[in-house]
Structure 1
Amino acid sequence: MTVVDTKPRNTAATASAPRRRRDLSRWLLLAVLAALAVMMLLPFGIVVINAFKTPEEYATDGPLGLPHSLYTGGLSTFWDRVDFGHVLLNSLLISATVAVAAVVLSILNAYALGIGRVRGRAWIVAAFLIANTVPQEGLIYPLYYAAKALNLYDSPWAVIIAFGVIQSAFGTYLFTSVLSSFPRELVEAAEIDGAGRWATLWRVVVPISRPTLLVLFVFFFIWTWNELFIPMVMLVSSANQTVPVALAVVQGEKTMDATMTSASALLGLLPAVAFFLIFQRTLSRGLTVGALK
């Protein structure tokens, strides 16, 4: 005898249970990400608050108290003390020149290693990888004496040449891995059309690899902008200092108060943040193209 189950089944409730669990997990993930965002933005918010305080308000209310008025004396005093406009121009010129030079060197090296397939390619790429692990403390002595011998000490060119080579070591390693999987059919088609190696590089390889090159340019610019150790050793005069060096020198003075310290940190941070926001779409597009490849 067959028993038929006549009890109605709540299929809607059964189907909605996994959906509720997914929604709950998404809300939990969103809450965790929001908490992390607040934790990361909190120091920046404290810097902004203290940058617009008077020294008296900082002494009375502490670092977490809100300013009673918009005080810009700390910003203007720091700007005038270090001639921040000139220092900012130095950082922009040095970072942009290093980024362009490092990208060009990375293109030339990676083209020979990734597409040219030179002999000992694996060892050369390994050497570039090892070069990225050498700390700057181990490079400063040869760089210092080389700059002295070439009369480049206390010149922006000492920093540009040093970081152009240092950044291109990473760019060569990364871009070589990209070009190693470059479609050989495009290169062969360009050779059949009569294009030489130089024309193939600039008319075929570079246009297709432009998203990756733009990502490298952004990284090289930001990395060079934030560098402190080598520029502090190489650029001793105030006329050639970069933003991080000027911040470090001024913040070491005993006459500097907490509000001016926050003002200097805010002025030093805003250009890098603005540059990152401007090229944010470039970064996301370059990473997406790399993932699709």
Structure 2
Amino acid sequence: MSQATMQAPTSQAADAEASRSRKTNKSQHIRTWADWMTLVLLIVGALIMLFPLIILAMNAFKTIADYNATGPLTLPAHPTMRGIESFWKSSNFPLKFLNSFVISLVVAVLGVLLSVLNSFALGIGRVKGNRWIILLIMLANMMPQEALLYPLYTMFKEAGIYNTQLSIIIIFTVVQSAYGTYLLSAVYSTFPQAILEAATIDGATRWQTLIKVVLPISWSTISVLFVFFFVWTWNEYMIPMAFLMDDSVQTVPLALSALQGQHTIDATQLAAASLLSIIPTIIFYIIFQRKLNQGIVAGAVK
């Protein structure tokens, strides 16, 4: 049998494989009607979600006369920065922004730290009665904020930290870490025991196991908690309203509430103020978007 005869079947098999590969690639690039319908529904859903933000941005650049004449659903006829400039100066927005940023960032960091330590003890350390402890934490976290106001007011008055940012940081660190403890405990309870046993055999201490083994694997979930804690604290209104009396320590949501008079309201200035208040959270989300997506995917895989 000649060499050409031996190579013929091999050449035919290679051609057949290449043909199948081309058909597979072609079929992968052909979208079905279901794919197109899904894409259209996603676009419509995104537009619905963005519609309030679009309306807010349109009205933020209107004059009062333009708003009264055409209503909130039209483009500004004479775009202006008057509303933004007025709110920026009257509310001392840079100071309010700094207060909100510091409080939210410190709460996010401390909340994540407490959540990790508590969850490591409850989920991996297997503390006796850990299920009852987690249940108690969740029941406390489900209490309405109104029920916490008077006890916290009395306690902080006695401690001398009422009307300070420290009081808000303490409150929301405890509140956010309660939710984070519940979530991370569920994640750490399913942590592979073989990895932990291998770390113990290698001589790792509890702290080394947490820092070098547990944290790197659960970093995506922790990043999600960090983003959520920051945004949730930034948007809080009721407790800061009750505990921050001086203008120098108030946050952005409290500055927004000052724009609503008893009988009148400047809709364009309120829209401008609302737009300024949500831009930082949007920027913060964009910065951590990749980590947020990774954490959500990791949670879905688990």
Asked whether the two chains share a fold, i.e. TM above 0.5, the reply is yes
Deviates more, 1:143-152 or 1:64-73: 64-73
Q: Could you tell me how far apart the structure 2 residues matched to 1:90 and 1:254 are?
A: 29
1:233 Cα deviation after fit? 0.6
Q: Who is 1:268 aligned against?
A: 277
Q: Who is 2:258 aligned against?
A: 249
1:254 Cα deviation after fit? 5.4
Q: Who is 2:156 aligned against?
A: 147
Amino acid at match of 1:45: I
1:271 Cα deviation after fit? 0.9
1:252 Cα deviation after fit? 3.6
Dislocated runs of 4+, deviation >6 Å? none
Q: Could you tell me how far apart the structure 2 residues matched to 1:67 and 1:224 are?
A: 33
1:74 alignment partner, one of 77, 80, 83? 83
Unaligned runs of 5+ in 1: 1-21
Per-residue CA shift, 1:212-245, capped at 9, x if unaligned?
A: 1111101111111111111111111111111111
Q: Who is 2:50 aligned against?
A: 41
Q: Could you tell me how far apart the structure 2 residues matched to 1:161 and 1:270 are?
A: 26
Unaligned runs of 5+ in 2: 1-30
SS of residue matched to 1:250: coil
CA contact (8 A) 2:123 2:185 kept: yes
Q: Could you tell me how far apart the structure 2 residues matched to 1:203 and 1:38 are?
A: 43
Per-residue CA shift, 1:134-173, capped at 9, x if unaligned?
A: 1111111111111111111110010000000000001001
1:267 Cα deviation after fit? 0.5
Amino acid at match of 2:99: N
1:109 Cα deviation after fit? 0.6
Q: Could you tell me how far apart the structure 1 residues matched to 2:263 and 2:95 are?
A: 23
1:69 Cα deviation after fit? 3.0
Per-residue CA shift, 1:110-141, capped at 9, x if unaligned?
A: 11111111111110111122122111111111
Q: Who is 1:12 aligned against?
A: none
Q: 1:193 and 2:199 equivalent?
A: no
1:238 alignment partner, one of 233, 244, 247? 247
1:123 alignment partner, one of 128, 132, 144? 132
Amino acid at match of 1:136: Q
Q: How many residue pairs were aligned? A: 273
Q: Who is 1:229 aligned against?
A: 238
SS of residue matched to 2:66: helix
Deviates more, 1:126-135 or 1:232-241: 126-135
Amino acid at match of 1:99: A
1:253 Cα deviation after fit? 6.2
Pairing of 1:96-111 with structure 2 (within 5 A): 96-111=105-120
Residues 190 and 28 of structure 1: CA distance in aligned 2, closer, same or farther (over 3 Å) = closer
Amino acid at match of 1:170: Y
Q: Who is 1:14 aligned against?
A: none
CA contact (8 A) 2:66 2:78 kept: no
Amino acid at match of 1:72: M
